[in-house]
Structure 1
Amino acid sequence: MLKSELIHPEISAIIAQAGHSSRILIADGNYPASSAIGSGAKLVSLNLAPGLVTVSQVLKVLLTAIPIEAVNTMGMPDDDPYKLDTDPPAWDAYRGILAAAKSTVELKPIERWDFYDAVASRDHVLTIQTGDQALWANLLLTVGVRQAGE
């Protein structure tokens, strides 16, 4: 039996094959996961119902399984009709999850179209589609390096 919190067999198999600089998208329920995906990436749908599961729930579990080098959110363009005046509440939740996991990685937004380009890269190995309904909840994780003794 695995000691990590991650027990999903397909996700486990994909991340076991991923290496340094591989990218994993945890997509919210509004993300066009079937069309905005890297050419070699796999799509795992965990969107059971609106709100189930959430990006935060997936992030917590993934942090128990893989080292993370970077965490990017989709930035809000000034002309976007859904742009908020402050950081979305989901981003604060992610910062709290990273802190609780004792991660030193900072959450960094990248512009919306650059985000889509990053997902389309050859490094994108996995999209996990959630049912999260929060606005601007997409997260792009870059796999880091496992250090000696970990």
Structure 2
Amino acid sequence: MIKTNITHPELLSALAKCGHKAKILIADGNFSFVTNSNPKAEIIYLNFAPDMLNAIDVLKGVTELINVEAAEMMTWPDDFENTIYDEYVNILPEGTPISHQPRKPFYDQIKSTDTFLVIATGEKRRFANLLLTVGVVK
């Protein structure tokens, strides 16, 4: 029996296969997991019901298992209060750069061959997709 807090076998396997610079998308419940992803990316479905599992819990678990070099998010409208952003900043390792990209370049990144893993969550908040770049083992 493994001793980590994460016990999902497919997720553990996929994370173990991610090398330095691989991209992992933690996708909110509004994301088109199949049509907007790299066709070769592995998709792990953790979206049992709205907010089960949410993106925050998934990020906490993923950061226990891998090093994060950088993160990317899609830009959101100026009049939108993105409440999840500050939560992500508090979970990611201190100093992790977070860049923001317009919709098309952000989706192009997700569709690229660098995106190895897409984790489908039940996150209900909009503009919550978070693209992680795997860092080196320290």
TM over 0.5: yes
- For 1:110, give the aligned amino acid: Q
Q: 2:43: which partner in 1? A: 43
C-alpha distance in structure 2 between counterparts of 1:88 and 1:94, whole Å: 11
- Is 2:109 aligned against 1:118? yes
Instruction: Mark the CA change 1:89 to 1:36 in structure 2 (over 3 Å): closer, same or farther.
Output: same
Q: 1:137 is matched with which residue?
A: 128
Size of the aligned set, in residue pairs, is 138
- Structure 1 distance, partners of 2:95, 2:5, is 20
Give me the whole-angstrom Cα distance separating, in 1, the residues matched to 2:18 and 2:45: 19
Gap regions ≥5 residues in structure 1: 77-82
1:80 match: none
Aligned to 1:18: 18
- Superposed displacement of residue 84, structure 1: 4.3
How far is 1:107 from its partner? 2.4
Q: Secondary structure in 1 aligned to 2:64?
A: coil
Select the residue among 82, 89, 97 that pairs with 1:95.
89
SS in 1 for 2:119: strand
Structure with higher Rg: it is 1
Map 1:45-124 onto structure 2 (within 5 A).
45-76=45-76, 83-85=77-79, 88-98=82-92, 102-124=93-115
TM superposition score normalised by structure 1: 0.86
Tell me the SS of whatever aligns to 1:59: helix
Cα RMSD after superposing both structures: 1.4
Q: Which runs of 5+ in 2 are unaligned?
A: none
Between the aligned residues of both structures, percent identity stands at 37
TM-score normalised per structure 2: 0.93
